[in-house]
Amino acid sequence: MIIYLNGEFVPKERAVVSVFDHGLLYGDGVFEGIRAYHGRVFKLGEHLDRLYEGARVLCLEIPVSKEEMQEIVLETLRRNNLSDAYIRLVVTRGPGDLGLDPRKCPKAFLFCIAATIVLYPDEMYQKGMSIISVSTRRNIPTACIPRVKSLNYLNNIYAKMEASLAGMPEAIMLNNEGYVAEATGDNIFIVKNGVLITPPSSAGILEGITRNSVMDIAREKGIAVAEELFTMFDVYTAEEVFLTGTAAEVIPCINVDGRIIGSGMPGEMTRKLITAFKELTKVDGPLIYPSGGE
């Protein structure tokens, strides 16, 4: 495995960061999880936009332009001879001292990993998955802005721990007001009376690239889409429930907190959106190998 590390490509054994890096010490930085399908990097422009917006919120200056960053991602894939992959792009505050002050970190640190990922088994995409809601609340926007995809993921890890201890693969997190926010690493959708509903940004969510893609697909298919606050009551009584995420893609949920959702099988709308999403991944995004071969 070859990894881009702050200006050079190195074997993974040499891909190391300083113990004084504030990304390691304090979770100070931003990242993106990106997918490549069929020789294209899906929604790469949108991922880079979110990365740079998050960095701006943190007053973190990324040392390369978006155009240069795109080439870094593509070249990392080429160096590893990959056409289908999961990409982790990370920008940390960089090395500093043991204090909190980000001004003590003179330059950000950048690395890019291209590998593979399997989040859930195929059977769950075919038959659906069971999930739970957990007591851990999503970060409130005035404490740690959820819309910034930062390296500080402890809030999500707390919730993931609750799910794991209960023997569940994923969990729904509520916000401080008791409304549904998102899962530990995915966005959530429900179908009620034929309308596709997902929590708005104001619920304290990270606006997922896959989430937004699914909403666009649904609108193109004439499906009514709404961004509205809802509670666990609405989840339990929904006709369909599914999660979306870069790693998870689109995965149906057929049981939540022991309540059977709909018929207990993936719903028709969910199946249609899964199919349409897979088709979109074949044509969206810049080519890794413009000449047509690896």
Write out the H or E segment, with its range, that includes residue 110.
strand 109-115
> Under DSSP, is residue 202 helix (H, G, I), strand (E, B) or coil?
helix
In whole angstroms, what is the distance from residue 72 CA to residue 288 CA? 11
Rounded to the nearest angstrom, the gap between the alpha carbon of residue 195 and the centroid of all alpha carbons in its chain is: 24
> Under DSSP, is residue 159 helix (H, G, I), strand (E, B) or coil?
helix
Beta-carbon count within 10 A of 142 CB: 8
In whole angstroms, what is the distance from residue 240 CA to residue 209 CA? 21
CA trace torsion 283, 286, 288, 290 (10° rounding):
90
**Bridging pattern class, strands 187-192 and 249-256:** unpaired
For residues 27 and 151, is the Cβ–Cβ distance under 8 A? yes
For residues 87 and 41, is the Cβ–Cβ distance under 8 A? yes
In whole angstroms, what is the distance from residue 34 CA to residue 245 CA? 10
Kindly give, in sequence order, each residue whose CB lies less than 8 Å from that of residue 187, ignoring residues fewer than 6 positions away.
Answer: 198, 199, 205, 206, 208, 210, 211, 243, 244, 245
Which one of the listed residues 149, 160, 278, 282 is annotated catalytic?
149
For residues 273 and 217, is the Cβ–Cβ distance under 8 A? yes
At position 70, the amino acid (one-letter code) is Q
Does the annotation count 149 as an active-site position? yes
- Residue numbers annotated as active site: 149
